[in-house]
Structure 1
Amino acid sequence: MHITLRQLEVFAEVLKSGSTTQASQVLSLSQSAVSAALADLENQLGVQLFDRVGKRLVVNEHGRLLYPRAVALLEQTTEIEQLFREDNGALRVYASSTIGNYLLPGMIAGWRRDFPELPLELSVGNSQDVINAVADFRVDVGFIEGPCHVSELVGEPWLEDELVVFAAADAAILRQPVTLESLAAASWILREHGSGTREIVDYLLLSHLPQFSLALELGNSEAIKHAVRHGMGISCLSRRVIAEQLAAGTLKEVPIPLPKLKRTLYRIHHRQKHLSKALLRFLSYCAE
């Protein structure tokens, strides 16, 4: 068997592009060369990697099995090439909103000062977005606000974080001792489902209330802070997110009759992901 890197590259691009026509344009090959390379690979493996549905190619179970291994080999080849030239590929990082907006920017600024020659791409979404991107090999590493339950991903504890309940400075709930009943009677403004913060708030806080009133679901922590500041309800976010507003007095922490709401932030990567030297250096930098 003589599988070539070109065949694996063609296979991976056909899977991503969805057709030999688009793959040929990306790879600067003729469509017949792409089709021949794919056919040669399938013949050597003795299986079909795609189901032919009309003119469409739909990846099947054999193709899904091969894809992460092919990507890992191609990435290792790229790393070998980069060992001998100054140009290094960009690290692709995806972080959930609290981490991406409030923790990583400072770390990345330090990283860029120390390693200006290594580009880095940061995307921000909710935790489920991050998990999906890591699982699909669209990014090298992800940072999320809770444990990951996907078997093909490796999750490692990264940092500890504290969540706090907060309200507008003149909120009625602050004028009397806070009880589980008064928390249940308040209007809550929460992150959307799929957010790591929402998952932890549901588990550590809302599960202790007899019921709760959901006023709004918002996909952005900044929007939640503004809504709370204007008296639309109370919420629960990372202390890091509202630190400036608490210090300025525009938001007030609501003392709750429960233990501190602690959580662990995680970093995740695909179990079959090749961890390059640049990526390992970045992860070590963030750990420090």
Structure 2
Amino acid sequence: MHITLRQLEVFAEVLKSGSTTQASVVLSLSQSAVSAALADIEGQLGVQLFDRVGKRLVINEHGRLLYPKALALLEQAGEIEHLFNHDNGSLRIGASSTIGNYMLPAMIADYRLDFPHTPLELNVGNTNDVINAVSDFRVDLGLIEGPCQLPELITQPWLDDELVVFVAPENPLAGRVVSLESLAREPWILRERGSGTREVLDHLLLPQLPDFNLVMELGNSEAIKHAVRHGIGISCLSRRVISEQLSSGSLVEIRLPVAPMVRKLYLIHHRQKHISGALSRFLTYCREAQ
């Protein structure tokens, strides 16, 4: 059985109009096309939907049974057309923790003020998690803290982000310019491997700290801030992550004898991903954040 929405539309309009002639005018079809569509659906169902009384068509018990179901299907099809005609598709975003927890909330709030009816899902993980989600089409767009080398993904530079080393205010190193040797002796609390922050440290700073003292790895920036605040060790995170604590004095930056550690944040999406209107609009918000 291959009943089409067009056949259901013809049936419903013939019922409302009372004749194939009037239905053909409303549907912009020839009368013969209307009659053929009606005959086809009756043939597939194996019943007559109308009783033929002279030149009139009078709905019978079979037609009355079909009519509400046909209307329901036509209404659902109309909703689908409306959904995509207005490009109100949902948007799935994956972001590494610094971006997802500290940068995106304000951007999403602005986006939803302009597009309140667009469903938006945000998944936060480390950079490797986001790359895998984009590669597997589980999210439409990824925002990550380091470059991506997968050839199937398009990687676009986005924003600059500075990493800073910090301590509790009671730490003797607080606010001082310290040597690399002194840093290596301190107990370090770092993000887990696979995070964008850890990748930058592994390339820019830690090779300059021979035999540095790693005491803890944590998968959450908030946990790291609390651990440092309670004197467990020192750490390095994005300035965006600790800006409030630096302003209040609950954490203090250490001045390093090396160049500032500035990394690039990136936008990634799959090469085969269709850029919908909803995704295109969100990309515009991302670019305006620069």
The alignment's TM-score, normalised by the length of structure 2, stands at 0.69
- Deviation of 1:173 after TM superposition, in Å, equals 2.5
CA–CA distance in structure 2, aligned partners of residues 140 and 167 of structure 1: 38
2:233 paired with 1:233: yes
CA–CA distance in structure 2, aligned partners of residues 275 and 265 of structure 1: 20
Q: 1:248 to 1:150 in 2, by over 3 A?
A: same
Q: Return the index of the structure with the highest Cα Rg.
A: 2
2:95 paired with 1:90: no
2:108 paired with 1:103: no
Matches within 5 A, 1:51-90: 82-84=83-85, 88-90=88-90
- CA deviations on 1:94-129 (whole Å, 9 max, x unpaired) are 000000000000000000001112121111000010
Indicate conservation of the 8 Å contact 2:90/2:278, yes or no. Answer: no
CA–CA distance in structure 1, aligned partners of residues 177 and 144 of structure 2: 34
The one-letter amino acid of 1:187's match is P
- Deviation of 1:136 after TM superposition, in Å, equals 0.3
Identity level (%): 64
Matches within 5 A, 1:57-206: 82-84=83-85, 88-174=88-174, 177-206=177-206
- Deviation of 1:172 after TM superposition, in Å, equals 2.5
> What number of residue pairs does the alignment pair up?
210
Three-state SS of the structure 1 residue aligned to 2:240 is: helix
Three-state SS of the structure 1 residue aligned to 2:142 is: strand
Q: 1:254 to 1:246 in 2, by over 3 A?
A: same
- Deviation of 1:176 after TM superposition, in Å, equals 6.1
Q: 1:272 to 1:176 in 2, by over 3 A?
A: closer
- Deviation of 1:88 after TM superposition, in Å, equals 2.3
Indicate conservation of the 8 Å contact 2:87/2:277, yes or no. Answer: no
CA–CA distance in structure 1, aligned partners of residues 231 and 206 of structure 2: 20
The one-letter amino acid of 1:83's match is F
- Deviation of 1:277 after TM superposition, in Å, equals 1.5
Match of residue 255 from structure 2: 255
- Deviation of 1:202 after TM superposition, in Å, equals 1.2
The alignment's TM-score, normalised by the length of structure 1, stands at 0.70
The one-letter amino acid of 1:128's match is N
Q: 1:145 to 1:176 in 2, by over 3 A?
A: closer
Match of residue 62 from structure 1: none
The one-letter amino acid of 1:203's match is H
The one-letter amino acid of 1:220's match is N
CA–CA distance in structure 1, aligned partners of residues 145 and 209 of structure 2: 22
The one-letter amino acid of 1:163's match is L
The one-letter amino acid of 1:126's match is N
The one-letter amino acid of 1:89's match is G
Q: Where does structure 1 lack aligned partners over 5 or more consecutive residues?
A: 1-78
The one-letter amino acid of 1:208's match is Q
- Deviation of 1:146 after TM superposition, in Å, equals 0.6
CA–CA distance in structure 2, aligned partners of residues 234 and 125 of structure 1: 23
- Deviation of 1:209 after TM superposition, in Å, equals 1.5
